[in-house]
Each structure stands twice: as C-alpha cells, then as structure tokens.
A and B are shown apart, each in its own frame.
Chain A
Amino acid sequence: MTALVIAEHDNKTLNDATAKTVTAAAKVSSPVHILVAGSDCAAVAQAAAGIAGVEKVLLADDARYARMLAETMETLILSVAEPYEAILAPATTTGKNYLPRVAAKLDTPQISEIIAVLAPDTFERPIFAGNAVETLQAPAGKKIVTVRTTTFAAAGSGGTATVEKIAAAADPGLSSFVEENLSMSARPELTSAKIVISGGRGLGSAENFKLLDTIADRLGAAVGASRAAVDAGYVPNDFQVGQTGKAVAPELYLAIGISGAIQHLAGMKDSRVIAAINKDAAAPIFQLADFGLVEDLFKAIPELNDELAKRGIGQKA
C-alpha cells in the first residue's frame, strides 16, 4: 500500500509544494514514493529523497519532460501507476494540467484541491469559490487527488530514500513547447512567502502599483493582486490571488486598495493574520481582516514605509 506523489520543480530546485503534498499523501497511504519527471534534474531527485517519510524516488530524466507537458506526463504516470493505492499532485497549474488525464485513463474520479484528509478515502475540498466545503468519499480503488498545498505543512527533511531511474514513456506527439514568459522577480514566490502584500484596483495604475514594491522589499514579502488589478493591466496574471488565481496562506496578508470580492477572499482567507487598508469603510475585506485601517492608500503607503523604517523593521529600502 503505497502513495505516489508527483514532484513540482523547475529542473533545478524542488518546489516546496512537493513536501506539502507528501504530508497529505501520507494520510492517504504510506509509505510515499515520489516521481520526479524532468530534464537534467538529478539534483531535484536528490532533494526529493531527503524529504522525511519518503521511501523511494522514481526519476524519469529525459528532454521530453523538461516542461512537464500534460500529454507526456500522462503516459509516464500511467506507466508506473499500477502498484499505487493513491496518486497525488500539488494543485498547481502543472498538477491541474496533467493529473485529470491520468484519472480519465484509469477510469477513476479525481478529487480536486483537497484541504483536509479525514480518512484515507474521505476528503474536504472547497466549492463555490470557498463559500462551501464539500466532504467527499472516493470510491474503492485508486485515489487520484490534487492537493491545495497552503493547508498542509511541509514534510520535514532528513529522509534517505533511494533514487531509482526509470525509462521515459512513449511521447504521444500531440503537443510541443514553444516558449515561456516568466515574470522574473527577486522576491519570494507568492504561494510560499511569509508575508504577502496585495494591491487592488484602488491603486489606479501600473505605476502606482509599484508603490507596494518598497514595502515588499523591506519586509521580504511577495506581491499579489486582485483580479480587478490584473484585468486592468497593472500587473501580470501570475500575481492574481483568488478562486481562479493562486491560493495563499502567509503569516501576514496585507490587502491594500482591495475591496474583497468573494472570489478574492477565497484565495487568501486562510492567512494567519489579515490586515487591510482601504478608504471605503464598508469594503467587505474589513469583515474578515484582523486589523483594518480606513485610510486613503496614497497617504497610508508612504506612512507605513516611514513607520517601518523608524522602528528598524525589515531591510533598509
């Protein structure tokens, strides 16, 4: 009885989402194996082998897995799926892309974006943009699950799993990679940052959105955005927090100029502390913020930066 976790990585570093998925997987079935599919990614396999509770790492190192395209991931996962009681992937845009194909081919329902494992076959998952929580029992047989990683702690380190190289599976030749435009940032990644500072339409322009950068740099925070700010073109799509963007759960979520549409709240309400600055006292964000400040953000942002500087909090900006 073993669970297989599909690793999330960029061929160089193992993404934190993997260790979090291992935590969820261990509650479904154990021991846990990890499949690392990538290109020139031996270091990733080594990192995966160091996760506590992992017994074995399967490494498929081949150019065809460099971008983890869904069609090639499907045939690879199916080639190793047989002995596993459960197959889990993080609910990232990569995991969401390939895992339903595997479920369909195995004629098994997929349970998406679980936030809790109540029993090895029973899961909680948010529906209706997080306005309701569904408790779902999967049928007998393999469990195919994607995991909302913000609600699971990362499994520890100190594991000594073996790494076993496996052969690449057939490439169905349906798709090919063309290009990638990734936002380059020295800041921490949105889903794993301890502090997230998010801006909304209240900022008014792409130029003004940069006001958040100074405070973010000072606090070592990631910058996020509401859908309204993304749609208005202030920031790229990968900044979006919410039902259709990313789910985050940092220690501190600072919402600036965000009114708090339910779709946005769905993506951040699990944060430990939520603070909001908005000039509209009736903004829905204040209904769940631990600390709310009703203030014009163009006045509050410089003040906040000065106040942090005065107290010597964070790096010098």
Chain B
Amino acid sequence: MKVLVPVKRVIDFNVKVRVKADQSGVDLANVKMSMNPFDEIAVEEAIRLKEKGKVTEVVIVSIGPSQAQDTIRTALAMGGDRGILVKTDGPVEPLAVAKLLKAICDAEKPGLVLTGKQAIDSDANQTGQMLAALLGWGQGTFAHSLELSGSDVKVAREIDGGLQTVSLRLPAVVTTDLRLNQPRYASLPNIMKAKKKPIAEKSPAELGVDVTPRCKVLKVSEPARRAAGVKVKTVAELVDKLAEAGVLS
C-alpha cells in the first residue's frame, strides 16, 4: 500500500511572528521556514508504517513556492521515497489545497493519506477533512494512535472529553495530533541520499484546479496586548488582589 503525505512549508514554530506595519500580512523576510510540525509527525508515522512492512511506498507532496522543495527534501531525508511539488505563487486556500491533493490522489491512488491536523500559520484545521469529503473517504482527525489492518484503519482521536476510537474503511485520510509520535532527525547519510530521490513538479493548471483565493484578507493586525500587571510578594497578597478583583467568589 502507498501512503501519501502532504506537507506544508511554514514559519518555524520558534520564530516570533511580526505583523507588517501596513497590515498586509506577517513579515516573511529573512524568517526561518520549516516543515509544519504536525506534518512532520505525519511523515514519521508513514515511515514507521513502512518500517513495519505495512506500507510499500511513502510519497511526499507539497504545495507552494519552489523553496517548498526543501521541505520535501527534509521529509525524504527522514525516509520518504519520492516527492511531488505543486508549484504555486502566493497563498492557496485550504479548499484549493484539498482540490489539488484530490487530483494527485486520483492519479497516485494511495491507500492512506496522512497529514497534519492543522498548519501552524493559518491554523485553519480544514484541509484533511475537505480532502476526505472530496474523495468520498472516511477520516480520522486528530490522531493519537493508529492501527492498520487489512482493509481498515483504527484511529484513536484526541477529542474534547478524552479519546475516541473510530474504525475507517480504507482508503482514508488521517490527520495527526501532537502525541502520535516523536519525529526522528534525519541522519547525514540520509540527507545525502535524499538529494538523489526524485521530486516531480506539477502546476495547478496541469491538475485542473483554479487556486485563485476566494476569501479576501482585509487586514492582518496585532492582537490586543495585555499589559503586564503587578508582582505580588506573598501568597496572602495574591489572595487579597484576587478577592479585590472579585474572581474568587
């Protein structure tokens, strides 16, 4: 069985993002970019399934500018087999991403799509669910653990009250939560090997998808800042302040 792993190039999670002065977006100049951490977990899970012999091929897909090749290479260095880059300029909305991925799934016919539950830039948490719907497949979102067996996959999902386990008929889409695994670091020999692995390039037009944004971003602004308050010296003083604020009753 083949697994398809869509990955997104995003601002590194350690970078403090800055909103541009003209409110047109966030500043991307000279900012470190990395693979979306949730997608990294998806890559790791796919590779583990391959190591267990349950999967034969791990295909990495990214949609973005030519630099998204680096993100694909990172996933190939972790153990992915080959890559597909859908080259785009400018932002692509989740629905358009889902349509591009559907076109790729129609051609590649994977048994499973594994991807992050959300990207840490747009925080939309939509793409996996939209892809599943467009393909007419089942979905296991926010995966905490998964178990492949023959024609089904069992997914334990992180839900508001705890964990929920569902069984999905394959093919299916699974989106990863934080605790599914701890992604590996690529070793130097594997980084070298990854440079020789093939990456195919496609355009949205070839895949028959219009990626023109449909929502209009009117502005991107700084969130309301909370001013730092006061430091208290003792527990008794803290309780005084909380009682004054009327939050202890």
Contact = CB atoms under 8 A, between A and B. Distances in A.
Question: Do A and B truly interact?
Answer: yes
Interface of A: 67, 69-71, 74, 92-94, 96-105, 107-113, 122, 125-139, 172-183, 191, 194-195, 219, 227, 230-231, 236-238, 243-244, 246, 251-252, 262-263, 269, 272-275, 277, 281, 286-295, 300, 303-304, 307-308, 311, 313-314
A104 B235 contact: no
Main secondary structure of the interface of A (DSSP, over half): mixed
B88 interface: no
Main secondary structure of the interface of B (DSSP, over half): mixed
Contacts of A291: 229-232, 238, 241-242
B121 interface: yes
A183 B167 contact: no
Among A246, A269, A291, A294, find the residue whose CB has the most chain B CB atoms closer than 10 A: A291
A155 B19 CA distance: 34
A292 B161 CA distance: 30
B17 A178 contact: no
6 contacts: A93-B157, A104-B98, A109-B95, A113-B123, A175-B138, A275-B241
A122 B216 CA distance: 9
Interface stretch (B1-9, B48-56, B219-227): B219-227
Contacts of A244: 117-118, 177-178
Contacts, number: 262
B141 A70 contact: yes
B245 interface: yes
A252 B249 CA distance: 10
Nearest to A134: B220
Given A180-B162, A287-B228, A122 B93 contact: no
Among A105, A125, A126, A307, find the residue whose CB has the most chain B CB atoms closer than 10 A: A307
Given A74-B133, A172-B136, A269-B226, A231 B179 contact: yes
B160 A93 contact: yes
A133 B221 contact: yes
Given A100-B133, A132-B222, A227-B178, A173 B229 contact: no
A307 B118 CA distance: 43
Contact of B141 (A97, A128, A281): A97
A243 B247 CA distance: 25
A307 B120 contact: no
Contacts of A181: 162-164
A292 B231 contact: yes
A128 B179 contact: no
Contacts of B43: none
A194 to B, nearest CB: 8
A87 to B, nearest CB: 14
Contacts of A98: 129
B132 to A, nearest CB: 7
Given A174-B168, A195-B247, A128 B159 contact: no
Nearest to A227: B178
